[in-house]
Structure 1
Amino acid sequence: MIKVKTSEEIELMRESALVVSRTLGMLAKEVKPGVTTLYLDKLAEDFIREQDAIPGFLGLYDFPNTLCMSPNSQVVHGIPNDKPLIEGDIISIDCGAIKNGFYGDHAYTFAVGEIAAETQKLLDVTKQSLYEGIRQLKVGNRVGDVGFAIQNYCEKHGYGVVRELVGHGLGTTMHEDPEMPNYGKRGRGKKFIEGMVVAIEPMINLGTQKIRQHNDGWTITTLDNKPSAHFEHDVAIVNGKPELLSTFKYIYDALGITSNEEDEFRNV
């Protein structure tokens, strides 16, 4: 059952989402060769708590850490460890936080130093596909419209769109209805209504769409060990249209990037 949010609840959810956005922005300056994902995880936990929030992933379904840290061929759900990042790596950082009783859930794939041109293109296309999908999140459209937009954009570039892992509704629990696949058919699936809040999160592979789960019960990697990218925003339907609750602005400020990609999804 879809849990529609009031305007007041959406504003509380915006606060939760921005806790995560600020955390990713803080981490953006720290992602560099030589640092470990465990070090970044501890920074994130402390930073979230400093914002009067609670790490949303820590202990959720028995996950052991604050961040899901997924480098290179890891798609999602990687567990932080003491292996240093190296030049040329990419790393998806997926972060959750609870504030005011609501979850924020937000992800970005970072380059570690200079990366290969084909890997940078994967990151660029995956991030753009996120906005292609968000554009379809409006009253009267359906889940399949978002999935089709993401799938169509990425497959035109020859990339694999993961099927087994999906976005989701968001609220007082991390995973609510509806599921939000990154593939689909136009006009299919649940219809979008005013007040919905969802996490849209393309998980796109440089090679095959096929994945495998590791024995730790969490880590997901591409079957061909080629890189995978992952970007995620929290989005509400407000006045019939998609409105971002999360933002990459703090990341871009940290990295010196100028972008207007989010402007059309802001209520100004």
Structure 2
Amino acid sequence: MAVELKTKEHIRGIRMAGRIVAACHKALSKRLAPGVTTLEIDRFVERFMIERGAVPAQKGFKGYPYATCASVNDVACHGFPDAEPLESGDIVTIDMVADLNGWKADSAWTYIVGKSTAATERLLRVAKQAMQDGIKQALPGNYIGDIGHAVQKRAVREGCHVIPMFFGHGIGRDIHEYPEVAYQGPPGQGVKLEEGMVITIEPIITSGKPDVFYARNGWAARTIDGAWAAQFEHTVAITKGGPIVLTRWE
């Protein structure tokens, strides 16, 4: 399967969608608090995108019914928003994709709700650093395996695990494009990175076992041992000048 390389104009389109995603995450960071529900957050995200001329691309994708994935505590990913109020000390990953004029950008972020603990802060720090280590390897001439190796090395060094069954992906006109971005395996292998590729780098990190099971809805994946999981994701363009994060907001 061939990788679709993006032109500078294409990347500008993805960047514009990414700015909406980034602004939405920044707004969310100030709204998440004990007592707020993920269903309220989902409605906020959908309204935020529509008001800016975009649409939530996840809604309807392969039958998914919401504008966001909202994954709380031991839900590793693809959690359904619901009416259960968040509690102080929870963590919640909000994953969203904006479609602006046909171009898509994708970003997930794990937030601490209310008060935190040292263990929770450490998990999020490791997960964010793993993503950042992966982004540093997104250079022309490197390989997908270099990204995965950097992510896995960080997790193992910190006594955590990558949940291996979930991947990053190419993105552009479609949410999921070739290639897949795995977060395990040896460096120097897999698809060779080229200028013009746009991919998501989005490892999911847990302090427990890396195994998951699916909820009855067929979407939400929970850790098998109940350990919490954190995920940070950016949409990244690969350029000769280095990786460009198209969804940066912090």
After TM superposition, is the score higher than 0.5?
A: yes
Amino acid of the structure 2 residue aligned with 1:231: F
Partner Cα distance (2:160, 2:31) in 1: 29
- With 80-89 and 179-188 compared, the bigger mean Cα shift is at 179-188
Once residues 249 and 53 of structure 2 are traced to their aligned partners in structure 1, the CA distance between those partners, rounded to angstroms, is 21
The answer as to 2:50 corresponding to 1:49 is yes
Distance 1:26 1:113 in 2: 16
Question: What is the CA–CA distance in structure 2 between the aligned matches of 1:201 and 1:184, rounded to whole Å?
Answer: 16
Residues matched between the structures, number = 249
Q: Residue 40 of structure 2 corresponds to which residue in structure 1?
A: 39
In 1, Cα distance between equivalents of 2:142 and 2:161: 25
Whether the aligned pair in 2 keeps the contact of 1:198 and 1:236 (CA below 8 Å) is yes
Q: Secondary structure at the match of 1:138?
A: coil
Cα distance, 1:214 vs structure 2: 1.1
Aligned to 1:262: none
- In structure 1, the gaps of 5 or more residues are 250-268
CA–CA separation in structure 2 for the residues paired with 1:165 and 1:76:
9
Identity across the alignment (%): 39
Aligned pair 1:147/2:118, yes or no? no
The question of 1:105 aligning with 2:76 is answered no
- 1:93-150 Cα offsets, whole Å, 9 max, x none, are 0011100211110011000011221111000011011110000010110000000000
**Paired position in structure 1 for 2:204:** 203
Q: How does 1:171-186 map to 2 (within 5 A)?
A: 171-186=172-187
Cα deviation, residue 248, structure 1: 2.7
Structure 1 residue 240, shift from structure 2 partner: 4.9
Provide the C-alpha distance between the structure 1 equivalents of 2:209 and 2:160, rounded to a whole number of angstroms: 7
What's the counterpart of residue 21 of structure 2?
20
Task: Look up the equivalent residue of 2:228 and give its one-letter code.
Answer: P
Contact 1:194 1:240 in 2 (8 A): no
2:71 maps to a residue whose letter is S
Say whether the 8 Å CA contact 1:211–1:220 is kept in structure 2. yes
Alignment of 1:22-101 (within 5 A): 22-101=23-102
| Contact map agreement 1:68 1:78 (CA 8 A) in 2 | yes
SS of the residue 2:150 aligns to: helix
- Corresponding letter in the other structure for 1:81: D
Q: Is the 2:134–2:148 Cα contact (8 Å) retained in structure 1?
A: yes
3-state SS of the aligned residue for 2:238?
strand
Q: Distance in 2 between matches of 1:223 and 1:147?
A: 23
* Structure 1 residues 50-81: Cα deviation after superposition (integer angstroms, max 9, x where no partner): 11001111111111111100010001100000
Residue in 2 that maps onto 1:226: 227
**What residue ranges of structure 2 are gaps of 5+ in the alignment?**
none
Q: Report if the CA contact (8 A) 1:38-1:81 is conserved.
A: yes
The answer (yes or no) to whether the contact 1:139–1:240 under 8 Å persists in 2 is no
Question: C-alpha distance in 2, partners of 1:18/1:87?
Answer: 29
Residue identity matched to 1:180 = V
Runs ≥4 residues deviating over 6 A? none
